[in-house]
Amino acid sequence: MYLWLGSGLDGEIVARVLESYGLRSHLTPKELPFVLDSSPSQHDRVQFSWRHEAAWALLWALGFVAQLGKPAQMCDVDFLGNTVAGRTRSQFIDDAELRPIADILDQADLIHRYHWAVRNAQIEGQQIPAGLHPGVTDERHHALNWLIGSRGQAWDDVSTDT
């Protein structure tokens, strides 16, 4: 829900959704202050809006997104929002179907390799290969590392080392 606040959605709507889904207590130490801030900075809005890309990877892992695909373009934010907000909490849980662990691990490995290619190109001053989008790549890497329990890190602390 903080994703939508990052995109400029009215804070009262976000607060209502958080309460109706019982999510407020699940916000991280970085997310909660952002959600409670009635006028977050533009910088914070931008930073939190990038989490749409992490959420997209999680929706893929739960079977709501058919193909994750190469991280070359930003996700469909409207689809993401409708997928979550268009269901009650119970419906969302009932509709979710976790992909096989092998598929999730394969995607985690692939995104690590994509992210390495992005960072290597940046370090070497080269063009980023294959049209990869650095921000999308980073956020998917974050989400998949968290999902597989890489280094046992909490969401706010997930490393995306390559």
pLDDT per residue, tens digit, the chain (162 aa), is 445 444 555 566 677 777 778 888 899 999 888 888 878 888 988 888 899 999 999 999 999 999 999 999 999 988 998 898 888 889 999 999 999 999 999 999 999 999 999 999 999 999 999 999 999 999 999 999 999 999 999 999 999 999
Q: Where are the domains of the chain?
A: 1-49, 51-162
Neighbours of 45 (CB within 10 A): 16
Please give the structure tokens belonging to residue 141: 């890497």
The span from the CA of 149 to the CA of 128, in Å, is 28
Residue type, 40: P
Do 68 and 60 touch, CB atoms closer than 8 A?
yes
pLDDT confidence of residue 2 = 47
pLDDT confidence of residue 52 = 92
pLDDT confidence of residue 5 = 47
pLDDT confidence of residue 21 = 80
Closest CA to 146 of 113, 117, 108, 114: 108
